[in-house]
Every structure is written in structure tokens, then in C-alpha cells.
Structure 1
Amino acid sequence: MATVRLAQGSVRGTQSSANATTYYAIPYAKYNGRFASASPVAPGTVEYDATRRGVICPQSASRLARVTGPKPPSTDGMAEDCLLLSVAVPTSASSSAEKRPVMVFLHGGAYVTGGGQLAWYDGYQMAGEGSVTVVSVNYRLGALGYLYDESRPLGLGTEDALLALDWVRRNIGAFGGDAAKVTLFGQSAGAYTTQLLVNAGSDLFSRAIVQSSPTSVVLTSEQAQKVRGDFETHLRDVLHTDLLGATSEQILEAQRAAITNNSNLELPFAPVTAEGPLGVAKNHSAPKDILMGWMKDDASVFVDLKLESLGVPRLVRPPLVLAATGPATAATFADPARRLAQKWCTEQGHRTTLYENTWRPRDAAYGAAHVSDMPLFLGDEEAWKAAPMLGSEPWQTQWGPRGHTARAFWTAFATNATVGPAFDNYRIGI
């Protein structure tokens, strides 16, 4: 076991593989209660046992379980005080004077599910193979993280992500990471947050990887206010409680009711921006290197969910999903990404490269689906073994080698902004 000393105390990690050590469940901010902004962790002499994963933030079951399978049963449960991150470092980090590039990951889950403490998002393989420091972040979800408040429209969850990035800037040097060379990368909702922080001109990172962001999805303040009204009405009239008196499970029940009442919205609980997610800041940080892309069939599972909600029988849906996936992927993911990339280049001077992942695993019902790239980057065979999106492709001969190549691509970008040449099933610069 290895121990790292920080201003807030010492953390004792565990060797995840021959090439990497992971420090789990490190508090990156002080939780100040429900619906309150967090604050930086105070200096102290606490000794953190960082050898096991911590809690994830309260959440219901994921609507994408038909793709990902169930969450791996490896966390310490759920709790509202969940502002934790994990840090994976190469075993050689302590013996090298040269600081490593840092990669900070924000998970997906439509802002209502997921967690950086899930085994799905372990970064030890990326750290060990690419000589980088990988950070996986929990942030508050659903009503607890994104219940609309006009004084902070981006939500507490986005505030949490910024606090995590600030923690990285102040502490990552102790893990051998270079605080001046931080790549923020996220998938789905995490990618959406990443693009918003690029738009806002954050200087807490210099590179970004945006994976399958629902780039053009907009949640207006009026829509968010209605979601909040439905949420509070359910608490008051059905559960006979209020925002501060409700249990976590009652919060989740009211959240589910609000989502059902607003089924027309793609992201009922999400950041709200006045100019929409394609808006860019007039005053911004130095130009960033950005890699942004989507899956060939990114919309397939969402098309299926929509058809199911309309009562279309399961056996009838496959050909309908096949026909609609291409146009839906273009409308939600690919075309808006192209437009945003152009705006980033022309209006902010960011160096932006686009990609498309076209690999369709054999016997994977949804093809090159949303989330199906994540096993290539984070987690391992054990973490993803129950995921239907793996299809019948063997891990040892397909997912393993492809993952090694994909991780090398991502870490090269984090190290020196290299984006080519394209490798198998990745179309670059489209």
C-alpha cells in the first residue's frame, strides 16, 4: 500500500494492478447539507483509508441498463454526502521527477445516475498504460444536484465538478500529476458538463475530450421551473413532506414523479444556460485542445426507449430502431457537435478535432451505441462483464486489444494533443 500526504490529511491507496495504484473515495469538498453549496476541504491530519470504493450519490435505476447492465455491486452504497473522487497513478509515479499529465473524468447518466466510485470508471488501466494520472469524480445528481435555482442555474452538480477540478489543481502534484496539464473528459451528461465549462472559459483545464454529448439539448428556465414545481408538489401533496424534511428515498420518489410528468424533456434535471449549450463565452481562457465525437449508433437505445413509451411491442421495434437511428444520431449528436466545433474554432480559437466511433460489436442489439465506448477506456472485464452492449465479442481478443489502442489514443491526446493517425473503427476529423 502507498500513502500520499495532502493538506487535508494522508490517503492510503491500494495497488490495482502491476502498473498502477488507486486511491479511492477521497473527499474533494466539504458537504454542507442538502441544497447547499459545498466548500473546499479544510486542512487537517485525518488519515483516509483510500483502499476501497466509497458511496455514490442517491439515484434510481438507470434507464440504460438494457445497454450497460446493472451497476457493478462494488460501492459502499449511496449517501447525500458523496463528494468523493478516486485517483489512479502509475506505480512509477513516485520514482519519477517528471510530472504526469492529468485526466479528470465526469461520468454520464442523464444527470440522474452514475458515479465516479463505480468500478465501471476505474482509471487504473489508463494510468498504468499511458503514464497519466486519472481522476474519477462523483457529483450530486437529480433533484439533489440540479433542482432549479435561478441563483445558480448550472446546478450544484456543476459546482461540484468545478470544486473537484479546483481540488485537482491544488493537490494532484502530490500524486505525481501536472496541475498545468489537465484534460477534462466526460461521456454523455459528463460530456455535456465538459462542453459547458469550455463554453464558460474555465481555466481549470487546458484540454477536453467530449464523448457523446447531447450537444444541442436545451433545458430552459421555464421548463426547469415546471420540473421543480412538479417535484415539490409530489413531496407536499403525496408524501406530505418538504425539501429539507424528506428522506433520500422520498426525494428520489418525487424526482421520478417529476420526470414522468415531464417526459417530453430529454434532461429534466440538468444545467440551465441562458444562451443554450451552443453558446460560447465572449471572455474566455487561452485556446484549448478539444477532441469531440460520437458513436455511430448513439441514438439507438433512445429510439427504442421512445418507441417503448409509445406502446410499440418489443418484437416490432428492431426494424423501426434501425431505420430511425441514423437520423436521430445526426440530429442529437453528430450535427450539433459539428456546429459547436465550428463555433469553438472561429469564436474562441480552440483547436477542435471531431471523431466518430463506428465499431458495432457482434450480436450487440444496439450496435455502436451510447455508452458502448466506455469499456474501451475505463473499468475492466470484471466491471463490464454483465453489459449487453459487449455483444458476443470476446474480451481477450476484441475488447481488451481495442481498449489498449483506444486508451493509448486518449492518453496521447492528454500528453501532447496528438489526434492521429486514426485507428480501426475511429473516423477522425469528419
Structure 2
Amino acid sequence: MSESRVPGTETAGPVVRTASGAVRGRHEDGLAVFRGIPFAEPPVGDARFQAPRPARPWDGTREAYAFGPPPPQEPGIMGRKDVPVAGPTGDDWLTVNVWTPDPDPSSARPVMVWIYGGAFKMGHAGQPGYDAQHIARDGDVVVVTFNYRVGMEGFALLDGAPANRGLLDQLAALEWVRENITAFGGDPGQITVFGESAGAGSVASLMAMERARGLFRRAVAQSVPGTFFSEALARDMAAALAAEAGRRPTAADLATVDPRRLTAAGQSLSARMLGYTDRWGQAAPTVTPFAPVVDGDVLPTTPWQALAAGAARDVDLLVGHNRDEFRLFLAMGGLLDEITEDQLTAALRLLAPGGGAGERAYRAAFPEDTPSDLYERVQTDWLFAMPSLHLAEAQRAGGGRAHVYELAWSAPGSRYLGACHGLDIPLLFGTFRADLGMLLFPGADVPDAAQELSSRFRRSWTAFARTGDPGWPAYDPEERLVQVLDEKPTVTAYPRETSRRIWEGHAFLPLPLLG
């Protein structure tokens, strides 16, 4: 582990001593900010495809001015190939970043730990859209972000390697927070994990994992994906991924390939996954061969099974989704208003609960929908809305507490996008000119309604981190009250009631291998 010092700058920025050594951050607009602190050794060499190892101590004071390099991954925002992966290069992928109002050990502020999304194949904590200054400053909380391995490095199921290495990285980061956050002014007894999309799937996984017990008190899951893989499916996908690289699906074989070259194998297979529908079933249209694997060890069961059995009854849960999740993917694929009747029929039969019965239920319930509207509806329900709602219901069934929301405010960037997937990120972080914000909030001015809703997001999320109450009633199976976040937020009965009834009783189980 390299050490960096600048002679004569001992008073240039705040210094905090971690368990591995001292770090120097910067004063930025009333906050102390520390970036790129190692929480584990670089997972390369003999550590490749293995569980994370503790960071080696260093002497002197290490500069914590810059984000660590992103883990190897596919390029772009949500997979857009024309957008390169920004950030420094190198192998120190496993680093944390801290925004704190005051690095005083006596401060004992609530701590919020962000887990990024990106289909388990992209994303990193240094993305501009995850600048946590507004959350830390507005909410008077300590915010931590970190990198974890994605794609083949983090989630391919390989012989000779533990499953779910990306989740193990997350555990290691949370253990670092528990051990070190007091020195940054945070309270290790008041830790909230929060994440979106794959990050929300990670939050749900952590709630289900015995190894994560006691590492956090509260959890926020924004747009939980319902895609968790069985071992058989994950192994079959790993074999296909390794074949793309001309190797066998073993840690020993793939360790001879440069990590950044392996991302090309993932890209190549993702582009052809629809051709595997007969073998990979519902996983094929996700066009990502990566997800948490229910391996019986790191992840014993799906989050819905674990929570219903009471695994996280002592963890407060805030969970929700956006009204029009799948429209983002239709827009990025150039498919808005372009879905044919044949494409709709295939999607309904593949994704709706009960196959043909589910198709008939959707068609009967929404007779006025166009093929594109109904296609977007069933994709949104299957992939995000119903998994999110069912997670709250599982938490309630297991004796825990949950609050539910739906984001219904439409992005101003396009009249077609509505309340699409990812809209909650720039609203929560207040980063309207970064990453997805550039797509969803074009032009020079951010609407006042967006600014007001953004402030409400941060007030609710940080209030939940502080007290367990985001400002609206807890969800219960009788009234089903949820917060609808719109230009005029309201508390009402769950608004997708028709879809809820269609999916009532459905179990989100590990996706199987069909062939």
C-alpha cells in the first residue's frame, strides 16, 4: 500500500487516525471530506477472485484527497457504450470515502453508508452523481461511500472462489465503518445502509446475511430488483462468460486474464442474452449475467424468504420504487412506443406470475393500455415494483417494521420518461448536473419543484437514519399506506393496487436454470 505525504502541509486539512493509519482530508464548504481510504488490500495477484483481505497499515499520514480507482467494469452510464468509465486507474479498487460535518469523536452523528447500483456490472463511488455533500450538510449526518467489485470480479460463480465476492466487499466496508467511523464523528450504533437498484439488491442481501448482523441498524432500499440467481443458473452463466474469454470458469484460469479485458466478455455475452431465453428464462431479458447468488453460504436464501422468517426484524426498513421504472430502459433502447403485440405477448408470458394466467390477468386489468404501455407496466412490476413491495411485506411478516414510498414525479428531461428508473438518485443527492442527472434534468435551470422534492428526499432519508421514522406511517397489510413523492407529496393507499393483486402470493425465488 503506497503512502503519500506532502511535507509542510500538516495543517492543510483535517487529519483522522484510522485503524490502519492516519489520513488527511480536505475542508470543503463546511464539511471535512476524505476520499480513497483503503478498507481492503487490492484484490489482485493471489488475492484475485478471493474474499477481501484487511488493508495493510501505513506509516505517516496518507493523503485522502482523491477517489480510488473504479473496479473493472463495462463503460458508460447504465451501459451506454459512448460514455467512458471516469476515474483514476490502478488496482486499489476497495476504498471508502467520508463526508462529515465534524471529525470529532465526541460528535456521534448518524452514519449513512451508500451502496451504488449498476446491474452488478458497473458503477463506482467516485461517480459525480454520488457526491454526498448535500446529504451530509443538510441532514447533519456522516456519509460513507465505497467501491465493491462488480461483473466477473465480484459476482461470477467460479470454481476455487467464494460466491458473491461483491457482497463480501460490502461486508468488509461495513466492518471498516464500524471500527473507524467514531474518529470521523459518526456513531457506530447508528448506521444506515442505503442503495438504489443493484445497490438496493445489495441492501436486501445484507439484511438476509447472518454475517451482516449488527453492522447496521436501518436500511433504505430504492428500487429493489427481483433477480437473484440459483447456483445452477449462475454456474451456467459463468461457463458462458469464461468461454467468451477462451477460458474455463475457474479462478485459476481467469486469474491469468487482465481484469479489464474480462469486462469485454461480459459485454459480449450481455448483448446476446436474449438468445438464451430457453435456457436462462427470466434472467435473459435483464441483459446482465451478474446478480447475487443464493449459494446457501454467503447468501443462505433470497431476501424475501429471510425477512419473512424474521432475519432482519431488528432492522428498520425504508423501501420503495419509482412509478415508471422501465421507461428509462425503453428510452435508451429506442423502444418507446415501438413495442409490437408479439413482443408484448412474449414478455407477459415470460414475466407475469403464472405465465398464461398472468398474461390474461394483465390484459383484463389494463384493457386501455397500448402494447408499449402494458409492456412497460409488466416489466416495471416484475423487475422493481413488486420485489420492493414484497420486501416490505416480508419484513412485516417476519415481525419487523417497514415504511414504503413511490416516486411519482416525472422527470423534466422528457415527457416520455415519467418517474423512471434512477430519477431518485439526482433528487436524493442533489446532483442534477452529473451522471443520470444530465439526461433527466437537461437545460440551464433545475425546476423549483425538483429542488423542493430533492430537499424532501434528504429530509426524509436523514430523519429515517436518525430516528427510524421518515415522516409517514409504517406500512401494514391492512391499510397499506405509502408516501407518494410528487410535486405535492401525499400519503395514500399503495397506488399500484391492481398490480399488487395480480402478484399477491407470488414468491420471488432464485431464478432457475431451465435447460
TM beyond 0.5: yes
Alignment equivalent of 1:268, drawn from 289, 305, 323: 289
Please name the residue that 2:357 is paired with.
none
Output the CA distance in 2 between the equivalents of 1:366 and 1:11.
43
- Contact 2:117-2:199 within 8 A present in 1 as well: yes
Q: Which runs of 5+ in 1 are unaligned?
A: none
**Deviation for aligned residue 1:323:** 4.3
Output the CA distance in 2 between the equivalents of 1:42 and 1:424.
45
Letter in 1 for 2:28: S
The CA deviation string for residues 247-277 of structure 1, in whole angstroms up to 9 with x for no partner, is 2332112222332343442241121115434
- Cα distance 1:109–1:242, how it changes in 2: closer, same or farther (>3 A)? same
Mapped pair 1:325 → 2:376: yes
- Contact 1:358-1:368 within 8 A present in 2 as well: yes
Alignment equivalent of 1:76, drawn from 88, 91, 97: 88
Q: Which runs of 5+ in 2 are unaligned?
A: 1-12, 278-282, 296-300, 345-369, 473-482, 495-515
- Contact 2:36-2:67 within 8 A present in 1 as well: yes
The 5 Å alignment of 1:295-310 reads 295-304=322-331
Letter in 1 for 2:244: H
Alignment equivalent of 2:445, drawn from 394, 397, 402: 394
Alignment equivalent of 2:316, drawn from 289, 293, 297: 289
The CA deviation string for residues 140-194 of structure 1, in whole angstroms up to 9 with x for no partner, is 0100111104777651100000000000000000000000010000100010010
Please name the residue that 1:413 is paired with.
464
Mapped pair 1:98 → 2:98: no
- Contact 1:362-1:392 within 8 A present in 2 as well: no
Mapped pair 1:350 → 2:400: yes
**Deviation for aligned residue 1:419:** 1.9
Output the CA distance in 2 between the equivalents of 1:38 and 1:157.
9
**Deviation for aligned residue 1:15:** 2.4
Please name the residue that 2:306 is paired with.
280
Please name the residue that 2:223 is paired with.
212
Which SS does the other structure have where 1:387 is aligned? helix
- Cα distance 1:427–1:152, how it changes in 2: closer, same or farther (>3 A)? farther
Alignment equivalent of 1:251, drawn from 243, 248, 262: 262
- Contact 1:356-1:427 within 8 A present in 2 as well: no
TM-score by length of 1: 0.87
- Cα distance 1:113–1:295, how it changes in 2: closer, same or farther (>3 A)? same
Please name the residue that 1:12 is paired with.
24
Output the CA distance in 2 between the equivalents of 1:362 and 1:396.
8
Which SS does the other structure have where 1:287 is aligned? coil
Mapped pair 1:57 → 2:81: no
Letter in 1 for 2:59: T
Alignment equivalent of 1:186, drawn from 192, 195, 198: 195
Please name the residue that 2:358 is paired with.
none
CA-based RMSD of the aligned residues comes to 3.2
**Deviation for aligned residue 1:331:** 2.6
Which SS does the other structure have where 1:104 is aligned? strand
**Deviation for aligned residue 1:23:** 0.5
Letter in 1 for 2:264: E
- Cα distance 1:253–1:69, how it changes in 2: closer, same or farther (>3 A)? closer
Q: Which has the larger radius of gyration?
A: 2
TM-score by length of 2: 0.73
The CA deviation string for residues 274-314 of structure 1, in whole angstroms up to 9 with x for no partner, is 543422065736611100000011121234567759x969x
Letter in 1 for 2:453: R
Output the CA distance in 1 between the equivalents of 2:82 and 2:191.
31
The CA deviation string for residues 94-119 of structure 1, in whole angstroms up to 9 with x for no partner, is 3x833000000000000111101222
Mapped pair 1:376 → 2:427: yes
Please name the residue that 1:130 is paired with.
139
Letter in 2 for 1:21: A
Letter in 2 for 1:359: W
For these two proteins, the number of residue pairs brought into alignment is 417
Alignment equivalent of 2:41, drawn from 30, 50, 64: 30
Which SS does the other structure have where 1:39 is aligned? coil
Percent of residue pairs bearing the same amino acid type: 28
Please name the residue that 1:2 is paired with.
14
- Contact 1:20-1:125 within 8 A present in 2 as well: no
Output the CA distance in 2 between the equivalents of 1:212 and 1:70.
24
Output the CA distance in 2 between the equivalents of 1:69 and 1:388.
14
**Deviation for aligned residue 1:387:** 1.8
